[in-house]
Structure 1
Amino acid sequence: MSSEEYAPPKYAQIVQAIRRRIADGTYPPGSLLPSETQLINEFHVSRPTVVRALQVLQLRGVIEREHGKGSFVKATPPAAAEEASRPGRAVLDRAEADENGSPVSVGEHPAPASVAKLLGVPEKSPVMMRRVLFRDADRPVDLVTIWCPVELAEGSALGQPEPLTAGIRQHLQHTKGLKLEHVAERLSARHPSTEEAKLLELRKTAPVLGVLASVYNGGGRPALIVDLVLPGDLHELEDAYSL
């Protein structure tokens, strides 16, 4: 078996390279990272691969991304700022169209028991479901399912089959005046369901990380449920906190 078969995915190699440059001072705190086009040319990869790498760095609290301006190294290192990996928040801020996200199932769906309990609605009552598969140049990298009350989705693009051009949090605030305020997450290590394995191109016995997040509005009740599935061989979750 060749050494290439053990090499990390291309986006992970970019993540490692950028983190090394931040650590050695090549990219100091507050500095602007090279543009997506510059990274594409340097690493000889596609734009979705570069976008995925930047999204991972953002999720880990290493950089901040500003639409139309670029990606900046955080002024305070993640450990010092006690920044945790926050997958639920990262999902809410991702623009599907910019990160090679493809909706695979959108529309009203009977609420599964776990989702109904978290949303506080009767089991199997109709709710809006939005399932999106994200890929890099090589393979699927995660699967996101958003569940929300039908009345919340009305007047928004959550029920449309096209990729969203803005993050869900920004979109709902703009279209519905809804401010999402905090997230409660549950993490699990498990095997994928049959559908998850098919969409993520995994064996049924492959490990995945599951993140089930309740997203609350100012009224103190869940407005959205985020179900995120991450292939175990592509992802790790980090945290840092004081004792």
Structure 2
Amino acid sequence: MPSDEFAPPKYAQIVQAIRRRIADGTYPPGSLLPSETQLVREFGVSRPTVVRALQVLQLRGIIDREHGKGSFVRATPPVTDEENTRPGGAVLDRVEAEENGTLVEVGPKKAPANVAALLSLPEGSSVLMRRVLFRDADRPFDLVTFWCPTDVVEGTDLAGQALLNTGVRRHLQAVKGLRLEHVVERLTARHPSTSEAKLLELTKSAPVLGVLASVFNGSGRTVLVVDLVLPGELHELEDAYAL
């Protein structure tokens, strides 16, 4: 048996356990999964860890979650591009207040050159930066930075000091009527910066996966840039697609 040092993070262990139960028929298609409270008690973890596991299962198209009703096993659907798991897109639906998020910094900043270029703004333009650190029960799990033009963020809660109670995509649609249509991601394997290493509790030589995602609205404008940093030892990316 592997030691705890090399065991998957607790949320991933819950994902694996539920997938095994679905595969062996313990949870058949259409069945209701145990409640979050029951899963917290069974696995001996915090509620944010259970919520993260259920969101991973939802993003992979394995379950459906209905507010006030619970989580249900889906029948296996045909694989489509919309159902593929993409880290940059998944961040847009995460709820900071429910996933043990900590607001590290928020406010106007001069956009770095690469961010300004992605937003089609002059270098040094002022944009909103919102940086959130997420943890599981044991340690920092990932670091997310949102870069948003001032006209897009105006009137929203993205510049506020409180954690968001809904995902960024849903919030922008509800408050601004802004529909986010597609995402272009750039993935880089690298070492963390000094500030990233400190926040994520990593050594400077630890591997991380950097995801830089440009988020477009229906007219083709980049309205948001997401910079996601994932510690390599805690994450693996899974995708599925038709040939």
Query: Cα deviation per residue 1:99-147 (whole Å; 9 max; x = unaligned)?
Result: 1111101000000011001000011110001100011110011111111
Amino acid at match of 1:113: A
Indicate yes or no: 2:126 matched with 1:126.
yes
Match of 2:150 in 1: 150
Structure 2 residue runs without a partner (length 5+): none
Indicate yes or no: 2:113 matched with 1:117.
no
Query: Cα deviation per residue 1:60-103 (whole Å; 9 max; x = unaligned)?
Result: 333333333322323225x7446321112211111110111111
Partner SS, residue 27 of structure 1 = coil
Residues 145, 227 of structure 1: 8 Å contact kept: yes
Match of 1:197 in 2: 197
Indicate yes or no: 2:133 matched with 1:162.
no
Indicate yes or no: 2:105 matched with 1:136.
no
Show the 5 A alignment for 1:30-179. 30-77=30-77, 80-81=79-80, 83-179=83-179
Cα distance, 1:188 vs structure 2: 1.5
Amino acid at match of 1:242: A
Show the 5 A alignment for 1:2-21. 3-21=3-21
Rounded to whole Å, the distance in 2 between the matches of 1:228 and 1:217 is: 20
Cα distance, 1:34 vs structure 2: 1.3
Rounded to whole Å, the distance in 2 between the matches of 1:228 and 1:119 is: 17
Structure 1 runs of 4+ with >3 Å offset: 79-83
Rounded to whole Å, the distance in 2 between the matches of 1:74 and 1:147 is: 35
Deviates more, 1:231-240 or 1:21-30: 21-30
**Gap change, CA 1:236 and 1:59, over 3 Å in 2:** farther
Match of 1:180 in 2: 180
**Gap change, CA 1:74 and 1:211, over 3 Å in 2:** farther
Give the TM-score, by structure 1 length: 0.93
Structure 1 residue runs without a partner (length 5+): none
Residues 40, 50 of structure 1: 8 Å contact kept: yes
Match of 2:212 in 1: 212
Cα distance, 1:19 vs structure 2: 1.1
Residues 79, 242 of structure 2: 8 Å contact kept: no
Query: Cα deviation per residue 1:138-170 (whole Å; 9 max; x = unaligned)?
Result: 001111111110111110000011100011111
**Gap change, CA 1:197 and 1:60, over 3 Å in 2:** farther
Match of 2:232 in 1: 232
Match of 2:24 in 1: 24
Partner SS, residue 51 of structure 2 = helix
Rounded to whole Å, the distance in 1 between the matches of 2:57 and 2:157 is: 27
Q: How many residue pairs end up in the alignment?
A: 241
**Gap change, CA 1:59 and 1:203, over 3 Å in 2:** farther
Identity %: 74
**Gap change, CA 1:128 and 1:188, over 3 Å in 2:** same
Residues 106, 131 of structure 1: 8 Å contact kept: yes
Cα distance, 1:14 vs structure 2: 0.8
Deviates more, 1:184-193 or 1:64-73: 64-73
**Gap change, CA 1:73 and 1:86, over 3 Å in 2:** farther
Amino acid at match of 2:184: A
